[in-house]
Structure 1
Amino acid sequence: MKKTNRPLVLASVMLAMFIGAVEATIVSTAMPSISADLGGFSKYSWVFSAYLLMSTVTVLLYGKLSDIFGRKPIFAFGIILFLIGSLLCGLASSMEQLIFYRFIQGIGAGAVMPIATTIVGDIYTAEERGKIQGYLSSVWGISAVTGPAIGGFLVATIGWEYVFWVNIPLGILALAGVLLFLVEPQKKTKPSIDYLGAFLLTVSLTSFLYWLVEGGVGFAWNSALSYSLSLGAAAVFAVFVLVEKKAKDPMMPFDIWKNKSILYANLVSLFTGMILISVSSYLPTYVTGVMEQPATVAGFTLTAMSIGWPIAAFFSGRLLIKIGYFRTSLAGGIFLVIGSLLFVAMRPEFGPLWAAMSSFMIGVGMGLTSTAFIVSIQAAVTYEQRGTATASNMFMRNLGSTIGVALLGSLLNSSLLKYFQDNERDYTLNSVNGMLTEDSRNQLPVDVLSFLQEGLTQALQNVYSLTAIFAVISFVLIFGLPRKKGVSSNG
C-alpha cells in the first residue's frame, strides 16, 4: 500500500502557510498605495473585513467537511478558489471590486490554513507535533519576513497588483504536493453536512460585521438600522446555537468546548486575533502617513513581528515539553501585553525602530501562544474530531481578527470624523488618502498635512489603547488553561 511522503507533504503544507503569511503582511504593506490609487479610504477596513469574514465563516465548515470527506479534496477546493480570488484582486479597478474579489479569496482561504495544520496533526505523532508545529510557525514567519520587503518592492516598481499575483505559482505547487504525496485513510461514514448551521452563522456574522464597520460612519449608533442589525445578528446567532445542539453532525460540536484546553485556548485566540489584525492592518498607515516613511520601511516594521513569531514558535515547541502548555502560553501572554503597551506609548518622533520593536514583541507573544494552543488542542481529541477542533481554534482567531478589524476600523473612522468636527474643518475620511504616499503628500499645503497627521495620530492612539485592553484580557484568560506538563494524545 502506498504511504504518505511526509517530507514532501510537509514542504507542500509549508508553501500553503507561506500564502497565508504573504496575505497577512503583503496586502497590509500595499494598502496605502491601493487606497491612494483606487480611492475610498472610508472603505479601507472592508478590504480586510471582506477577506476575514468569509475565511472565518467557512473555516468551521471546511474543518467539518475535511473530517467527513478527507483533507485532500477540501484543501484542493479551497486553494483553487483562493488563487482565483487572488487573480481577480489584482485586476480590480475600484475599491468596491477589490472588496468583492476579497470575498472570493476569503472563501478559499478558509480551507488553506486550518486544513494544512490538520494534515500535520494527522501525519505526525503527538510527541512530534510540538516540534513540527514549531517548524510550521517558523516557516510561516520566515516567509512573512520576505512578504513586506517583496510587497514594498512590488508597489514601488511594477505595481500593487502583483502583491496578489505572487500567491499563484506557490499555491499551484502546494496543491500539487498535497494531491500527489498525501495518502489518507478510506472514509466509511455516510456524510452529513450541516448546511443550515453554516447559513445561519454566515448571516449572523455578516450582520454583526456590517454593524461594527458602518456604525457611527454610514449610520448613527442609535438609529433604527443599527438596532435592527445588532439585535438581528444576536437573534440569528441564538438560533444557530439551538440548531447546532440538535444537528446530527453539527458544524460546531459544542461538546468539544467542554474540554478546558480547547475552551480557554480558543477564548484567548479570539483576543489575540484582535491584537494581530490591529498591528497588521494599521501599522503601515501610521508609518507611511504619520511618520512619512516609504512602503518598504512600513513593511520592515511588520517584518519585525514576522521575525519574532518564528523565533518564539521554534522555542515554543521545546518549551511545551519542558514546562507545559500553561507556562508557555503565560509567557506568550506577557509579551503580548508588553508589545501592545509599547504601541500605546508610540509617538511619531520615535521613528520606525520603535514601531518595529513593538511589533517584534507582539510576534513573540503570538509565536508562543499559537503553537502551544494548536498542539494542546490536537492532543485533546481523536483523529475523527481533529479537523473540527483545529478549525475551531482557527475560527476563533479569525473571528477575533474579523471583529477586531471592524471594531478598530469603526473606532479609527469615528475618531477622525470627531477630530474634523471638533476643529470645524470640512474634511471627509477620504481626505486621509492624500497623506498616504510621498507624491500626494507633496501636493498638500504644510498646514493641511500637519492637521491631517495629528488627526490620524490621535485616532490610531485610540486604536492602540483598545488593543492593549485586548492584550490584558487575553493574559487573564490564559489562567483558565490546565496546569499539566508534557504531551499526551488521543490518536
Structure 2
Amino acid sequence: MNTKKSNIVVAIMVAMFLGAVEGTVVTTAMPTIVKQLNGFSEISLVFSLYLLTSAISTPIYGKLADLYGRKNTLSIGIIIFLIGSSLCGLSQNMYQLIVFRGIQGIGAGAIFTITYTIVGDVFSLPERARIQGWLSTVWGIASIAGPFLGGFLIQYLSWHWIFYVNIPFGIVSIILLQKNLEETFQKNNNPIDFVGIVTLSFSIVLFLYGILSIQHNKKLYSTSLVVSLIFTAIFLIIFYKVERKAKEPIIPFEIFTKSNIIANLVSLLASAILIALDVYMPLYIQSVLGYSAAISGVAMAPVSISWLLSSVILSKAIFKYGKNSVVCISSIILLLSCLLLGTLYLRTSLVLVIFYTFIMGFGFGGAFTTLTIIVQESVYYNKRGAATASNSLLRTIGQTVGVSIFGIIFNLNIVRYFYKLGRKNVDPNSLYSSDVINTGIPISVMKDALNYGMHVVFIVLIIISIVSLILSFMLNNIKDNDIKG
C-alpha cells in the first residue's frame, strides 16, 4: 500500500471515528447536559433526531457522490457535521441542542456512507476486506474510548467540549482527503432529483416515526404506527413513480440485482442482531451479573478484536472460497453465537460471556465486510455510491426496527414474569435502577425478571439468525459472474 493509499485510510478512519465516538460521548455526557439545560423530558429527541436526519441524508449523499465525486461530497458532509458539532457546543437550551444535533446527523449521513464507497473505489479486493474490517473496528474503539473521553472532558472542562473536540479531527480528515484522493468522473448536467429526495425523505421520516412510537406506546400495535405505515406506503408508491421518470433518480432501481437484494436483506437482519448485542449484553453484564459499567465496556471490547481478526482472515478466504460462501460461514457463526447466548443464566462466568461475544464479533466481521463488497460489486462505478448508501440505510432501519421491537418483547416478558409471581402493574423501567427501596422488589427477583426477558429476546435472535442463514444460502446459489466488477 503506497503513501497516498495509507493517507486515504487514515482520512476515512478519522472521519468514521468522528461519527462513531459522537454517540458514545454524548450518551456519557447526557445526564450532565440535561441537568444543566433543564431538559430531561426531551432527552430522547437528542438521539432520535440525529438518527432521523442521518438516515434521510444517507441515500442523498450516495447519489451526490456518484454525480459529483466522493472526495468533495464527503468533505462537505464532514464540514456540515463540524458546523453541527460547534453549534451543539454553543447550545443554551435543550431545543437548540436538539436542532443542532439534527444538523450533525445530516453530516453524519455522508460519513457513514461515502467512507465505504471510497474503499470500494480505491482498494483491491484483499485490501478492501481488511480495510473495511478496520473501519468496523473503529466503532469498537469508539465504544470504549467514548465514555472515558466524555467523562474526562466533563470533569476537567465542561460538556461543551465533547462537541468542540471533533473539530481538529474533522479538519485533518478533510485535508488528507483533498490531498490524496484522486478520482475521475464525468460531470453530469442532469438536474438533481428533488422530488425523489422529498418523497423518499417523507417515507423515511414517517416510517421511523411509526417505529419509534412503538417504544413510547409500549405495545407492538398502535394507531400512530398503523397511520405512519399507511402514509409511508403512499409516499413510497409516489417515490417509485417519480423515480421511474427521473433522469437521475436518487435511488436507481437497476442497482437492485438479485445479489444486491439478498445481501441487503441479510445486512438488515444482521444489523438487528448487532443492536441487540449492543443494548442487552451490557445490561446483562451490569444488571444480572452485577458488574460495573467499566467492566461491561471492557467485556464488550473482544467483539471489536474478533471483528478485526475476521477481516484479516477474510482477505484470503474470499479468494479461496468466494464472497458468497464467506457470507454463509459468517451467518452460521452468528447462528451458533445466538444459540450460545441462549445458555446464559444468572451466574454465568464473565469469561464465558466474553468468549461468546468474541465468537459473535467474528460473525459480524465476516458478514458485514463481505456483504458490503457484494453490494458494491453488484453495480458499476457510477452507481456504487447509491448502492452503498442503500445498504447503509437498510442497516439503520434494521437497527431502528430491531431496538424498538426487542424493547417491547423484553418489557412485555418482564411484566409476564411478575404476573406469574402474582405481582401486577410492575413498570419494567423501574428495574433498570438499582434503587430497590423504591421498587419494593428484592434484587434477586429483579435479576430473575431481567434474565427471563433477555432469554426471550435471545430466542428471537435465534429465529432471525436462522432466516439470515437461509437467505445466505440463497445468495450462495447466485454465481459470482452474475456480479459486476
TM-score, L = length of structure 2: 0.84
User: Paired residue for 1:146, among 138, 141, 146?
Assistant: 141
Q: Distance in 2 between matches of 1:345 and 1:64?
A: 45
1:389 offset after TM fit, Å? 1.8
Q: Distance in 2 between matches of 1:147 and 1:79?
A: 18
SS at match of 2:474: coil
Q: Distance in 2 between matches of 1:246 and 1:99?
A: 37
Q: Give the corresponding residue for 1:374.
A: 372
User: Paired residue for 1:311, among 309, 313, 325?
Assistant: 309
1:427-449 CA-partner distances (Å, limit 9, x unpaired): 546534533xxxxx587688454
1:216-270 CA-partner distances (Å, limit 9, x unpaired): 743766554343223222222232223222322111111121x222121111111
Q: Give the corresponding residue for 1:474.
A: 468
Q: 1:230 to 1:152 in 2, by over 3 A?
A: same
User: Paired residue for 2:458, among 464, 471, 482?
Assistant: 464
Q: Give the corresponding residue for 1:283.
A: 281
Please report the RMSD computed on the Cα atoms of aligned residues, expressed in angstroms: 3.7
Q: Distance in 2 between matches of 1:148 and 1:239?
A: 40
- Please show how residues 322-337 of structure 1 align to structure 2 within 5 Å: 322-337=320-335
1:293 offset after TM fit, Å? 2.0
More deviation, 178-187/19-28: 19-28
Contact 1:378 1:389 in 2 (8 A): yes
Contact 2:346 2:448 in 1 (8 A): no
Q: Distance in 2 between matches of 1:42 and 1:300?
A: 31
1:56-115 CA-partner distances (Å, limit 9, x unpaired): 222111000111111122212211222344456677798877665543332211111221
Tell me the amino acid that sits aligned with residue 17 of structure 1: M
Tell me the amino acid that sits aligned with residue 354 of structure 1: L
Structure 1 gap ranges (5+):
436-440
SS at match of 1:480: helix
Does residue 411 (structure 1) correspond to residue 405 (structure 2)? The answer is no
Q: 1:327 to 1:20 in 2, by over 3 A?
A: farther
Q: 1:363 to 1:54 in 2, by over 3 A?
A: farther
Tell me the amino acid that sits aligned with residue 383 of structure 1: Y
Tell me the amino acid that sits aligned with residue 113 of structure 2: P
1:452 offset after TM fit, Å? 4.1
- Please show how residues 85-100 of structure 1 align to structure 2 within 5 Å: 85-86=84-85
Tell me the amino acid that sits aligned with residue 176 of structure 2: G
SS at match of 1:346: coil
Q: Distance in 2 between matches of 1:308 and 1:85?
A: 33
Q: Give the corresponding residue for 2:111.
A: 112
Q: 1:473 to 1:49 in 2, by over 3 A?
A: farther
Q: 1:449 to 1:45 in 2, by over 3 A?
A: farther
Q: State the percentage of identical aligned residues.
A: 33
Contact 1:297 1:352 in 2 (8 A): no
Q: 1:489 to 1:163 in 2, by over 3 A?
A: farther
Q: Give the corresponding residue for 1:137.
A: 132
1:476 offset after TM fit, Å? 0.9
Tell me the amino acid that sits aligned with residue 345 of structure 2: R
Contact 2:82 2:167 in 1 (8 A): yes
User: Paired residue for 1:346, among 329, 339, 344?
Assistant: 344
Q: Give the corresponding residue for 1:71.
A: 70
Q: Distance in 2 between matches of 1:221 and 1:445?
A: 26
SS at match of 2:187: coil
Q: Distance in 1 between matches of 2:347 and 2:87?
A: 39
Q: Distance in 2 between matches of 1:120 and 1:27?
A: 28
Q: 1:466 to 1:26 in 2, by over 3 A?
A: farther
SS at match of 1:481: helix
Tell me the amino acid that sits aligned with residue 139 of structure 1: W
Contact 1:200 1:240 in 2 (8 A): yes
Q: Give the corresponding residue for 1:438.
A: none
Q: Give the corresponding residue for 1:245.
A: 244
1:177-207 CA-partner distances (Å, limit 9, x unpaired): 1122223325431043222222222222222
Aligned residues: 478
Q: Distance in 2 between matches of 1:135 and 1:219?
A: 41
Q: Distance in 2 between matches of 1:82 and 1:466?
A: 36
Q: 1:174 to 1:381 in 2, by over 3 A?
A: same
Q: Give the corresponding residue for 2:356.
A: 358
Q: Which has the higher contact order (CA 8 A, sep 6+)?
A: 1
Q: Distance in 2 between matches of 1:73 and 1:287?
A: 43
Q: Give the corresponding residue for 1:52.
A: 51
SS at match of 1:319: helix
Q: Distance in 1 between matches of 2:18 and 2:439?
A: 41
Q: 1:19 to 1:364 in 2, by over 3 A?
A: farther
Q: 1:146 to 1:450 in 2, by over 3 A?
A: same
Q: 1:421 to 1:78 in 2, by over 3 A?
A: farther
SS at match of 1:184: coil
Contact 2:307 2:362 in 1 (8 A): yes
Contact 1:325 1:484 in 2 (8 A): no
Structure 2 gap ranges (5+):
none
Contact 2:346 2:447 in 1 (8 A): no
Q: Give the corresponding residue for 1:169.
A: 168
Q: Give the corresponding residue for 1:103.
A: 102
Q: Give the corresponding residue for 2:79.
A: 80
1:273 offset after TM fit, Å? 1.3
1:396-422 CA-partner distances (Å, limit 9, x unpaired): 222212222232234344545666777
1:21 offset after TM fit, Å? 4.3
- Please show how residues 366-445 of structure 1 align to structure 2 within 5 Å: 366-416=364-414, 424=423, 428=427, 430-432=429-431, 434-435=433-434, 441=435
Q: Distance in 2 between matches of 1:222 and 1:35?
A: 33
1:276-334 CA-partner distances (Å, limit 9, x unpaired): 11112333233233333222212123212111111111111221111101111111101
